[in-house]
Chain A
Amino acid sequence: MRGTRKGTASSMSVFAGRDLSRIALVVLGILVLLDLVVHHHQYFGIDGTFGFAAWFGALATFTLALLALAVGSLFRAPEGTYDD
């Protein structure tokens, strides 16, 4: 990962390149498809579903992001809140 020195480029330029996006999507696809050949030990049933870690990873992050958004909307305060 390399960032940009100047402030003009997108702040997420590291992800913005079309080639990089394609590579990332291919990598994600391969990671899921590898579930076809790698055997996973199941403990709960749900962890034996196809691509479990992939969808759980995304879902957990998205859920935590939503929760953080909710906490932020309720409890965000200005930086000087406690300055007297």
Chain B
Amino acid sequence: MTTSFFTSPPMVLILGALVLVFTQGIARKAVLIAFPLLALVLVWQAPTGSISASYLGYALTPIRLDALAVLFGAVFALAAFLGALFALDRTSTLELSSAFVYAAGALGVVLAGDWITLFVWWEVMAIASTLVVVCGGDKAYGPAFRYALVHFLGGVLLMAGIAGEIAMSGTATITSIKPESWPRWLILAGILINAGAPPLWAWVSDAYPASSWSGMVFLSVFTTKTAAYVLLRVFPGTEVLVWIGVVMGIYGVLYAALENDVRRLIAFAIVSQMGIKVAGVGIGTPLALDGVAAHSAAAVIYTALLVMVAGSVLHQTGKTRMTELGGLADAMPLTAFSCLIGVLSIAAFPLTSGFVSKSMIIDAAANQHLAGPWIALTAISVGAVLHAGLRMPWLVFFGPAKVQKASDPPQSMRIAMALAAVLCVVIGIVPDGLYVMLPHQVPYVPYSASHVLVQLQFLAFAALAFYLVRDWFRAQPSITLDLDWFYRRPGKWLARGFDDLTASAWTRLVSGINGKAAKLHDLLFTHHGPSGTFGRTWPTGTMAFWTTLLLGAFLLIAAMG
């Protein structure tokens, strides 16, 4: 066990974020590399166990390490390392410090054994990740603002749910539950927002592509996969998740297939792959849950790889629209090769990480004889060939060259991509290294003749179908309207209408008060102004006349008395 909370992996990354602010040059690069590695070692070396504390009368467990936490913690620390290595030349200290705090938040959630600790780290993630988005530049402000609004709403739902759950159960300890009360539904809703579930899924494709070439690597890893982790921990076997996952999966495939911006395409692919994991949590058998854990680990690496590929293209060409890209394979061979490894992994090609992990979830659906989910999940898995597997490399790296001068990115970026690509293949070839870390230890043999043949048939014939309809999916300078239209258009009109209404009401109130005040002023001015009865200057003669008159009247009354 890590000896104390303050030397735990999340706090080490918080310290790293602080140290980054005060270092420059080589020292800064050393900090970027060393702190995530230190966090990785701490997660890896720590024996299972927990640290307890109390706060406001509640028993807290800030650190709770078991097999699932170690797996996710190690993968997150590894992803933080890859992201930091890729971002070694990035000058924005705000982005990198925020990214470290963001990674710390994700590790904090993974290690949290109680709801209060989890919520604190959850919000740390929300704030830090918003800052990472903001560092994308001027055009990122709008997406970052919308991102923050959605995540703070998620945080409010989660907080309300946690408060209700603690009030009803009397304990803050996180356990596996069913959504059978309103606080639990609120908790589920709060987590699902971070998972990219409908209806608030558009934040993924809105905010992630707005971040910088390096920022999106961190963003693509932590928020959605932490949500998968908490779902695994809290809501295994919740049936509604199967269909929510299927909807996410299909949505991601369709929108990615139509997308022009390569980084937004990957964002849609992230939602699609998250859909398979969310459905796996819903299936809820030990094989499905192990599959979700394994696929989360695999997806962290291959998604980071694909985002690094797109980040390299942006870094080297300044472009992300596929209408402006193409034929980069010769100029950027290592990036193109990394892309191929990444897309083979996401498409679950044998000998890659996707093959040994995604199929566990789909096989779990088959084992349970869930025909509908099995067909849908298989189609979603095959659909990865359509959007990422072939369309992305075709439009970015092959075909006519549209960018005149390009080359592979600087060394640190190349090493980060190469490491991620190697990991994708190593996990694919030696899956037992991943399987021994899974919580349920369900025996699973990915490399049977039947499984390999079935997968090769799926992929080969999906590729054939794509080849036949490829003209439908050429890059077009367009976007596809999403559910965020409701808050970016009617929502905006409503907000503007409300703004106009309150502004005119205020104007009327102010002008009304002004009018009354003016009338009062006029009245006072009439009587007390320079020419008013009470205010004007009276001539001396008039005053003498009235004084004489009053004196005469007084004498007359006195004489009569």
A61, B450: Cα distance in complex, Å: 21
**Residues 436-478 of chain B: 1 if any A CB is under 8 Å from the residue's CB, otherwise 0?**
0000000000000110011111111110111111101110111
Q: List, sorted by A's number, 10 A–B pairs whose CB atoms are closer than 8 Å.
A: A5-B330, A12-B399, A15-B467, A38-B453, A53-B453, A53-B454, A56-B382, A65-B473, A68-B254, A72-B258
Any A CB within 8 A of the CB of B374: yes
Known A53-B457, A58-B465, A61-B386; contact A7-B401, beta-carbon cutoff 8 A: yes
> Known: A43-B369, A44-B369. Is A65-B457 also a contact (CB below 8 A)?
no
Q: Measured between C-beta atoms, what is the minimum distance from B354 to chain A in Å?
A: 15
Distance of A52 Cα from B372 Cα, bound (Å): 16
- Say how far B67's CB is from chain A's closest CB, in angstroms: 29
With a cutoff of 8 Å between Cβ atoms, the chain B residues found around residue A63 in the complex are 379
Contact A58 B257 (CB under 8 A): no
Residue from B393, B467, B481 within 8 A of A75 (CB atoms) = B481
What 0/1 readout, one digit per residue, does chain B (227-267) give for beta carbons within 8 Å of chain A? 00000000000000000000000100111011010000000
Q: Tell me if B371 counts as interface (CB < 8 A to partner A).
A: yes
Q: Which 7 A-B pairs have the closest CB atoms?
A: A3-B398, A7-B400, A11-B399, A53-B457, A61-B465, A57-B461, A60-B379
- Verify B254–A71 contact, CB threshold 8 A: yes
Q: Give A24 to B460 CA distance when docked, in angstroms.
A: 9
B250, B401, B479: the one within 8 Å of A5 (CB):
B401
The 8 Å CB contact of A61, one of B260, B385, B393, is: B385
Note all chain B residues with C-beta closer than 8 A to A31. 453, 456-457, 460-461
Instruction: Give Cα A39 to B466, complex, Å.
Output: 28
Q: Is the CB of A79 within 8 A of B480?
A: no
CB distance from A11 to the nearest CB of B (A): 4
Q: Are B386 and A11 in contact (CB under 8 A)?
A: no
In the complex, are the beta carbons of B258 and A61 less than 8 A apart? no
State whether the Cβ of B516 lies closer than 8 Å to any Cβ in chain A.
no
B326 within 8 A of A: yes
- Determine the interface band of chain B, counting residues with CB < 8 A from chain A: 35 or more
Residue of A nearest to B258 (CB): A72
Chain B residues near A52 (CB-CB < 8 A): 454, 457
Interface bits A1-12 vs B (CB < 8 Å: 1, else 0):
111111111011
Chain A residue nearest to B395 in the complex (CB): A11
Q: Please give, as numbers and ranges, the residues of chain B lying within 8 Å of A57 by CB-CB distance.
A: 382, 457-462, 465
Chain A residues with CB under 8 Å of B456's CB are: 31
Report Cα–Cα, A48/B481, bound state, in Å. Answer: 40
Which residues on B sit within 8 Å (CB–CB) of A81? 479, 481
| B100 located at the interface, meaning its Cβ lies under 8 Å from any Cβ of chain A in the complex | no
Bound Cα distance from A53 to B386, whole angstroms: 16
| Docked CA distance A34–B337 (Å) | 30
A contact residues around B454 at 8 Å (CB): 40, 52-53
Neighbouring B residues of A55 by C-beta, 8 Å: 461
Q: A5-B327, A6-B401, A54-B457 are in contact. Are A79 and B478 (CB under 8 A)?
A: yes
Question: What distance in Å separates the Cβ of B202 from its nearest Cβ neighbour in chain A?
Answer: 11
A6 to B330, CA, bound (A): 10
B383 within 8 A of A: yes
For A82, the chain B residues whose CB sits under 8 A away are 488
Give me the interface of A with B, judged by CB distance under 8 Å.
1-9, 11-15, 24, 27-28, 31-32, 34-35, 38-41, 43-44, 47, 51-65, 67-69, 71-72, 75-79, 81-82
- A6 CB contacts on chain B under 8 angstroms: 400-401
A73–B43 Cα gap in the complex (Å)? 49
CB within 8 Å of A: which B312-338 residues: 326-327, 329-330
- Could you tell me which residues of chain B, from 386 to 410, have a CB within 8 Å of some CB in chain A? 386, 393-394, 397-402
Q: A81–B482 Cα gap in the complex (Å)?
A: 12
Check if B469 sits within 8 Å of A65, measured CB to CB.
yes
Please determine whether B400 and A68 come into contact, CB atoms closer than 8 angstroms: no
- 15 other A-B residue contacts (CB within 8 Å) besides A56-B458, A61-B465: A6-B400, A7-B326, A7-B401, A7-B402, A11-B394, A31-B457, A54-B461, A57-B459, A58-B464, A58-B465, A61-B386, A62-B469, A65-B466, A67-B250, A81-B481
Chain B hits for A34, CB < 8 A:
453
- In contact, B254 and A64 (Cβ under 8 angstroms): yes
Contact present for A3 and B329 (CB under 8 Å): yes
Contact check, B400 vs A67: say whether CB atoms are below 8 A apart.
Answer: no
Write the chain A residue with the least CB distance to B400. Answer: A7
The smallest C-beta distance from A2 to any residue of chain B, in angstroms, reads: 7
Which chain B residue shows the least CB distance to A63? B379
**B366 close to chain A: CB less than 8 A:** yes
- The residue of chain A having its C-beta at the shortest distance from the C-beta of B393 within the complex is A1
CA of A78 to CA of B460, assembled, Å: 34
- Cβ A14 vs Cβ B369 within 8 A: no
Quick one: which of A4, A47, A53 contacts B327, CB cutoff 8 A?
Answer: A4
A3, B473: Cβ atoms closer than 8 Å: no
When the two chains form the complex, which single residue of A5, A27, A38, A60 contacts B460, counting CB atoms closer than 8 Å?
A: A27
Which partner residue on chain A sits nearest B449 by CB separation?
A: A38
Q: Which of B340, B374, B400 contacts A8 (CB 8 A)?
A: B400
Q: Which residues of B are found within 8 Å of A9, using beta-carbon distances? A: 400
Closest-CB distance, B264 to chain A (whole angstroms) = 11
B548 within 8 A of A: no
